Amino acid sequence: MKTRTKILFLFRPFLFGFVVYSLLTGLGYLIFGILSDMNGWSSFEHSLFGTLIFNYQAQTDGSHQMAFGPGILFIGLLGGLLNMGLAWLLNRKESHLV
């Protein structure tokens, strides 16, 4: 397999994993923020290794503020690397079977 083909073979799973994990994390936290507002929860913040993922602030007037941080990109990066690694492992085992 050529080097360019190997890079493309690993880049596609990385990109797909990055996008899917980032979108699912963002959507999950958006739903979590809506549930927090509906149930009257107090303010909270989630971070990963000190990097903000999601911040929910309940205001005194009954409104709320939700903010996403760069931690979502970090989760997407981890998801992309995981997907790329699994694709590499599956392809490696598949090439030994043929």
Asked if the structure places residue 14 within a domain, the reply is yes
Asked if the structure places residue 45 within a domain, the reply is yes
Asked if the structure places residue 97 within a domain, the reply is no
pLDDT tops 70 at residue 98: no
pLDDT tens digit sequence for 81-97: 999 999 989 887 665 55
pLDDT tens digit sequence for 21-76: 999 999 999 999 899 988 988 999 999 889 999 999 988 888 889 999 999 999 99
What is the predicted pLDDT for the residue at 37? 87
What is the predicted pLDDT for the residue at 96? 57
Asked if the structure places residue 96 within a domain, the reply is no
Does pTM top 0.85 for this prediction?
no
Asked if the structure places residue 21 within a domain, the reply is yes
Place of tokens 């397999």: 1
Asked if the structure places residue 98 within a domain, the reply is no
Q: Give me the domain span that covers residue 67.
A: 3-91
Asked if the structure places residue 12 within a domain, the reply is yes
Q: How far is CA 95 from the centre of its chain?
A: 30
Asked if the structure places residue 59 within a domain, the reply is yes
Number of structural domains found in the chain: 1
